[in-house]
Amino acid sequence: MDFTSVARAARTASRQLATARREQKDAALLAMADSLLEAQEAVLAANDVDVRRAEASGTPAPMVDRLRLTPDRVAGMADGLRALARLADPVGDVVRGWTNPNGVQIRQVRVPFGVVGIIYEARPNVTADAAGICVKSGNAALLRGSSSAEASNVAIVAALRAGLERAGVTPDAVQLLTGGREVTAELMGARGSVDVLIPRGGAGLIDAVVSGSKVPVIETGTGNCHLYLDATADPDMAVAILLNAKTQRPSVCNAVETVLVHRSRADLVERVVAELTAAGVTIHGDDDFRRASPQVVAAEPGEYDGEYLTLDIAARVVDSFDDAVDHIRAHGTGHSETIVTNDLAAAERFTAEVDAAVVLVNTSSRFTDGGEFGFGAEIGISTQKLHARGPMALPEMTSTKYVVTGQGQTRP
């Protein structure tokens, strides 16, 4: 695979996509969905090759499960493409516009980035999802999946490209980058021919892309999320939010990893311990929490810094609101931070002083999600401050250009 010619084909395709009308892009998404369903047998057979190889090399069962496709999962991919077709097209939106005193008219208009590279891990369904998001937002996609899913990805991309072609869109709008690690290095070095790079996966992958890439990166980060129960927290609300944020789906980035309780609320410490324990959560607590129950295990040094992504939680009693904010500043990853309080000033200070993509008052951090925000699609949750912060959807897959129109005006 010659990266330079692949990137050049992507640039050419991006020009067709950039000026495609919504109806063309939606027709392409529907054709991609149809084509994927028609190719189901080929996709499952290719996936079987990947799964057998993973099993033969001793890959852990949960990872093999993520790699495995089924008729249901293929149908899910097709449904995802159809759902994208129903969403509004961000391209062409006029963000703002005005007329200068000299009559020159200025409009800031949403346009696609151009060529978007997406680097992701084992789940082959990301292939269809990422391709669909790029097509809908008018970007050409360079997909770099995991080598462990290569046979599956080749079959999926072949089906998607057949769909594009059937809809009259150049198939080079979606290209898969196969080959060894040097291809990833070429992709990360392709400043100018690739406009934006988005890593989707674990912390290791993201760190490698962020530090190695010369192409601008949108970082989708890890979530060491805190829940602070303030002095005036309603106990029923506090427990309901805590259980939801910890146990509703512990493996995701918006699940809570540490609970902080104000020292004046010994009642809450006891109830938190009882309810979490009943829900099967292991509490890694400080001395105050350990006094509340022998079931609380001692928090180790460094315990407050990582994500568990399991039914574990770190727990600490803080002396004050300021102590809680200081703890979050020292240990948070800037993803989602929550306060439960009935004190208006505390709520205002928390939302102003805590520096995170999403700050929540009296509700669950599980709402930090493109679907829950009502966006319809989600590329990931950005924890960086440049370009996009928080759940990213189709508008975040675009740039803008200024269109300036005059009738011969010149600058005095």
Residue numbers at the binding site for a second copy (CB under 8 A): 15, 18-19, 98, 100, 104, 106, 108, 111, 113-114, 191, 195-196, 210-211, 214, 216-218, 234, 236-237, 240-241, 243-245, 248, 347, 351-353, 355-364, 366-368, 372-374, 384-387, 389-391, 399-411
DSSP state of 357: S
- The tokens describing 358, both together, are 């999403």
Q: How far is the CB of 105 from a second copy (least distance, A)?
A: 9
Total residues found in the chain within this entry: 412
DSSP state of 380: E
Q: Judged by CB, which is closer to a second copy: 33, or 357?
A: 357
Q: Judged by CB, which is closer to a second copy: 248, or 295?
A: 248
Q: How far is the CB of 272 from a second copy (least distance, A)?
A: 15
Q: What's the rounded Cα separation, in Å, for the pair 279 and 406?
A: 66
Q: Judged by CB, which is closer to a second copy: 102, or 295?
A: 102
CA dist 374 → 130, 262, 367, 392 (Å): 19, 33, 10, 11
- The tokens describing 140, both together, are 């050409």
Q: How far is the CB of 195 from a second copy (least distance, A)?
A: 5
- Residue closest to 69 by CA, chosen among 83, 51, 87: 51
Q: How far is the CB of 211 from a second copy (least distance, A)?
A: 6
Q: How far is the CB of 317 from a second copy (least distance, A)?
A: 23
Q: Judged by CB, which is closer to a second copy: 132, or 391?
A: 391
Q: What's the rounded Cα separation, in Å, for the pair 297 and 203?
A: 27
Q: Judged by CB, which is closer to a second copy: 6, or 241?
A: 241
- The tokens describing 285, both together, are 């607590």
Q: How far is the CB of 52 from a second copy (least distance, A)?
A: 37
Read off the amino acid at residue 143.
L
Q: What's the rounded Cα separation, in Å, for the pair 127 and 133?
A: 10
Q: Judged by CB, which is closer to a second copy: 163, or 390?
A: 390
Could you give the count of Cα atoms lying within 13 Å of 175 in the half-sphere of its Cβ?
Answer: 28
